[in-house]
Chain A
Amino acid sequence: EAGVAQSPRYKIIEKRQSVAFWCNPISGHATLYWYQQILGQGPKLLIQFQNNGVVDDSQLPKDRFSAERLKGVDSTLKIQPAKLEDSAVYLCASSLTGETEAFFGQGTRLTVV
């Protein structure tokens, strides 16, 4: 079974630039999550999709972050403009439903300079 695919693996940008991350979940998984993991901390949920609808985005900084899952499969997370404090690993995860365990991708390590 193929896992959760994320790209790119690494990204370095200057502050105030924009960046986008892509995630392809495990086939058939209805639920998709985006997490932010800052060094030394646990993953923090940014947004959760059920198919192409948003279940929760209460911790997403909506003034600069946006995410979409238009066809209920792939998803993109965008940051515009980036700040230094956005430096983190961005993890995508998927689960069969919102009540089953999540499977994680390798993550995208973002460095904002």
Chain B
Amino acid sequence: AQTVTQSQPEMSVQEAETVTLSCTYDTSESDYYLFWYKQPPSRQMILVIRQEAYKQQNATENRFSVNFQKAAKSFSLKISDSQLGDAAMYFCAASGGTYKYIFGTGTRLKVLA
């Protein structure tokens, strides 16, 4: 069975500092995709970053980058220069067949002023 594990239920980071959110996954697929989604309180879930497993280069989007370790099945998200607006629930997800995502349980990120 495909699984996605986020072992940190909650994390805190000081404003302007860097934080890394962990995600590990297990899949038997040879070709798959990985995602980080952000869901602020009472607001819409938005895509932060997407990684194609066949690409060795780590995806980046402005202050957000991933450390994709395919052999270790690890897909962590690094947020640099954290801002108050980064406070949210972050979900890691893996493609789990056509139209399906396998979501992790989420990490709640608090940003301290």
Question: Do the two chains bind?
Answer: no
Q: Which residues of B contact A (CB under 8 A)?
A: none
